Structure 1
Amino acid sequence: MFDKNSRQIITKAVCGKGKKFTEASHTVTPLHRPTSILGCWVINHKYSAKKRGDFVEVSGSYDINVWYSYSDNTKTEVVSDKVTYTDKIPLLMKDEHCISDELDVIAKVVQQPNCIECEISSNGNRIVCEIEREFVVEVIGETKMYVKLDPHGKDHDDYDYDRLEAELADLNPDVSSSEESSSDH
């Protein structure tokens, strides 16, 4: 495959890709027995990603905040709970031709953690929150490319620099300013 009309180029390229959607259920324990759920939101999402074998492991955390009423809807309070998670995202596309062991991992959030449902548990003293999140990951590593050379392509030494210099010398550097001054009259 390698000859005088081709070159081998070593470059960084995407060597693996994966995507995963996750729904998780979290139980929050409030200080008071809840009467109703008034709202739920997820904040402070942080994460990191590392390649582990044939998958990328995304580890992160976020805070779940639930606003609820208690004492027969006469009082309200917000309960907050920090949640940690680890998602194993399989690499669906893998290039086995990566030539280095040093790989970069890029993880992008497609869907930030978001509450899709929040309800009082069947025993009545806890709150169950359904949270969704989605990631896309890419693994970047060094790989080889083979490039065929154009036998009729121009070489640096073949370029006619004298002709280019002559053409540039004929240009009037004041063209734009002379056009502006003639349009002012």
Structure 2
Amino acid sequence: MSDFREIYTKAVCGKGKKFSQTAHSVTPTHKPSSVLGCWVINHKCRSNFRNDVVVVEGTYDINIWYSYNNNTKTEVVTETVTYRDEIELSIKDKNVASEQMEVVQHVLQEPNSLDADISPNGKIVVQVEREFLVEVIGETKIKVSVDPENALGDEDWDADLDEAFEDLDSEFLVGELEE
């Protein structure tokens, strides 16, 4: 019998990272005088592996608090926007079958408002940033060495542990607590 075995397992076989900034144009109900605040909330996304890239698709809400009528009244306008990011894999194992790839996405930077300005046409332009790290998991094969004669001696591990604990001071962490 051979001294090696082949084991099929799941492993990270590709990684990619992408940072992006996007400008969204939001049309308020009234002509804005000033922007008082801008928040990005309710982020949802999903990802999948297509044609050697990971596609992350999602939505988020942009809430803009603004004043109008010469700064005498305020209102909040909300707009739901969609996005699609294609993330190239910077690390990729070519020896993995791509039929059953899983994608794990990590949101490194939730969508966040950087700036909100009033354009000359009365719209509010919001700059949003986001960043993702994706890992593609696939089935792969690894080759391991087999110890047919048990040269490592499993019994020896237990004896080594017993010897290591003999010198421990069992009263080391025990003491009276002062109140």
> TM-score scaled to structure 2, two decimals?
0.83
Please list the CA deviations of residues 153-178 of structure 1 after superposition, one character each: whole Å capped at 9, or x if unmatched.
3589x859xxx9xx9xxxxxxxxxxx
Q: Closer, same or farther in 2 for the Cα pair 1:27/1:100, shift >3 Å?
A: closer
**1:31 aligned onto 2:33:** no
CA RMSD of aligned residues (A): 2.9
Please list the CA deviations of residues 70-96 of structure 1 after superposition, one character each: whole Å capped at 9, or x if unmatched.
000000000000000000000111001
Question: What pairs with 1:5-154 in structure 2 (closer than 5 Å)?
Answer: 5-99=3-97, 101-123=99-121, 125-150=122-147, 153-154=150-151
**Once the 2 structures are TM-superposed, how far is the Cα of residue 99 of structure 1 from its aligned partner?**
3.5
**Once the 2 structures are TM-superposed, how far is the Cα of residue 53 of structure 1 from its aligned partner?**
1.1
Partner of 1:172: none
> Residue type of the partner of 1:79?
V
> Residue type of the partner of 2:44?
K
Partner of 1:171: none
Aligned-residue identity in percent? 54
| Distance in structure 2 (CA, Å) of the matches to 1:83 and 1:89 | 19
**Once the 2 structures are TM-superposed, how far is the Cα of residue 54 of structure 1 from its aligned partner?**
1.5
| Distance in structure 2 (CA, Å) of the matches to 1:70 and 1:9 | 67
Q: Closer, same or farther in 2 for the Cα pair 1:109/1:147, shift >3 Å?
A: same
**Once the 2 structures are TM-superposed, how far is the Cα of residue 122 of structure 1 from its aligned partner?**
2.2
Q: Closer, same or farther in 2 for the Cα pair 1:22/1:119, shift >3 Å?
A: same
Q: Tell me how many residue pairs correspond in the alignment.
A: 167
Structure 1 gaps of 5+ residues are: 168-185
Q: Closer, same or farther in 2 for the Cα pair 1:100/1:120, shift >3 Å?
A: closer
Structure 2 gaps of 5+ residues are: 163-179
> Residue type of the partner of 2:69?
S
